[in-house]
Amino acid sequence: MQPEGMQQQGMPMNSDKDWMTTLLLAILVGSLGVDHFYAGKTMTGILKLITLGGCGLWALIDIIMIVTESYKDGNGLVIKKQ
């Protein structure tokens, strides 16, 4: 029996962050970096806030990454639909 949170053979670990919440934050206030703060990426959240989401391009890329389930949280775990 493996402890909770441990990676099983060949199975990637998933984040405990909610996929829908992350997506809604990215769509509604993504240019302010709120989605990065929620995911635990404080430094990139600050950079995204200062650049207003990379003039919108960074925010758009984050939305695409969240929808395709390739967006990772601050611990490097993928945020997926539950």
The DSSP line for the chain is -PPTTPPPTT---B-SS-HHHHHHHHHHHGGGTHHHHHHT-HHHHHHHHHTHHHHTHHHHHHHHHHHTT--B-TTS-B----
Please report the pLDDT score of residue 82 as a whole number.
82
- Please list the rounded mean pLDDT of every run of 10 residues in the chain (82 residues): 54 86 96 96 95 92 96 95 86
* pLDDT for the residue 13: 85
- Can you give the residue ranges of every domain in the chain? 19-67
**pLDDT for residue 1:** 47
- The answer to whether the pTM exceeds 0.75 is yes
Q: What is the pLDDT of residue 10?
A: 59
Residue 20 has a pLDDT of 97
